[in-house]
């Protein structure tokens, strides 16, 4: 049973059940964080004992070492959603511990728009800006006004503007060295009163074109969830952290060279003007990793970017499989396939 910090700190807590991969050893110390004061107390505890801190949200984008984490794991459970009208929009402040898809569902039900394409993504609101989560033509950075954080070094609360968060493809300041000391406590969104759907993404366009269905906020949300369910593993059956690899982004010269060798590889321009290459194509068509397994870790048959735990997989199984895939892509294309999932050890 998890214990609130106000009632004491837990020792030797298994992290396996706290991640969607369902893999990992124990945390030496563990506590739940419900407010800033709890976070201050936990930070002082760690400083006193000389411990590293790892901040856990929904556990949906991490792979924990089989040896666990020899420090303090703090699980952010800060709740609350506050909605205010702001001219033609709504400003919505959300605690970092709120479940992301519960938040999206509530916004749709209240007719507050712009997050529909990000439906069904596992994890917490606090993790959304860290990863700059994205799906079906949208990234969360487009809706974020600011992010409130707690600085573990000087025990101060700070508010970062959208620009200061340094958002890019599946990246942000929080993944960089200067952002590692910052713990997300609240995310402030600027959302819309008027529904302006984006159904330009191929899968969504096909979903609606094949049905006599009006594009309403609820129907768009249900479309996205249906598409995700058809592509991604059921977390009730398999452990997974979603897409394990990023799509490589390369300059024009390298793209031209790659497309001469592999003319069928799906590619598109990103907002920086560089070319994004389909990692799934490289994994499947170039390297032939359709159903490859190492131990109980396997490539998901319906989406090759995803690695799954079939039941008794270990972190070593997953890392060995990932390395085989990365080595093959590097050998055949010269591209470095970056991991999207964070490894915790």
Identify which of 35, 4, 52 has the alpha carbon closest to the alpha carbon of residue 148.
Answer: 35
Report CA-CA distances (Å) from 245 to 82, 329, 341: 34, 12, 7
Count other C-beta atoms under 10 Å from residue 8's C-beta.
9
Distance from C-alpha of 134 to C-alpha of 302, rounded to nearest angstrom? 19
Identify which of 264, 297, 287, 274 has the alpha carbon closest to the alpha carbon of residue 333.
Answer: 287
CA angle 139, 76, 186 (to 5 degrees): 50
Q: Where are the beta strands (DSSP E) in 77-117?
A: 81-86, 89-95
Distance from C-alpha of 313 to C-alpha of 326, rounded to nearest angstrom? 19
Local structure of residue 285 (DSSP, 8 states): I
Catalytic residues: 170, 243, 340
**E strand or H helix at 187:** strand 182-192
Both structure tokens of 91 = 């400003």
């Amino acid at each position: 049973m998890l214990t609130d910090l106000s009632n004491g700190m837990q020792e030797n807590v298994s992290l396996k059940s706290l991640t969607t991969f369902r893999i990992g050893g124990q945390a030496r110390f563990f506590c739940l964080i419900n407010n800033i004061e709890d976070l201050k107390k936990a930070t002082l505890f760690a400083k006193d004992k000389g411990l590293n801190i790892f901040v856990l949200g929904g556990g949906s984008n991490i792979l924990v070492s089989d040896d666990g984490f020899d420090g303090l794991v703090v699980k952010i459970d800060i709740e609350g959603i506050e909605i205010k009208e702001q001219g033609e929009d709504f400003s919505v402040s959300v605690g970092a511990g709120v479940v992301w898809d519960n938040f999206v569902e509530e916004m749709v039900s209240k007719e507050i728009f712009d997050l529909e394409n990000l439906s069904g993504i596992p994890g917490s609101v606090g993790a959304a800006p860290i990863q700059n989560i994205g799906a079906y033509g949208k990234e969360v950075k487009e809706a974020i006004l600011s992010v409130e954080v707690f600085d573990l070094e000087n025990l101060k609360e700070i508010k970062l503007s959208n620009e200061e968060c340094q958002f890019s493809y599946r990246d942000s300041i929080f993944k960089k060295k200067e952002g590692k000391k910052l713990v997300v406590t609240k995310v402030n969104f600027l959302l819309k009163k008027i529904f302006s759907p984006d159904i330009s993404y191929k899968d969504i366009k096909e979903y609606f074109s094949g049905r006599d269905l009006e594009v309403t906020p609820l129907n768009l949300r249900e479309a996205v969830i249906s598409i995700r369910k058809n592509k991604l593993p059921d977390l009730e059956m398999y452990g997974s952290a979603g897409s394990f690899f990023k799509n490589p982004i390369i300059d024009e010269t390298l793209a031209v060279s790659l497309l001469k060798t592999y003319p069928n590889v799906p590619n598109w321009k990103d907002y920086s003007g560089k070319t994004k290459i389909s990692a799934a194509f490289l994994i499947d068509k170039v390297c032939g990793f359709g159903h490859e397994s190492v131990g109980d870790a396997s490539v998901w048959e319906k989406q090759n970017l995803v690695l799954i735990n079939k039941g008794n997989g270990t972190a070593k199984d997953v890392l060995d499989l990932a390395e085989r895939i990365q080595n093959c892509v590097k050998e055949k294309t010269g591209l470095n396939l970056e991991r999207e999932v964070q490894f915790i050890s």
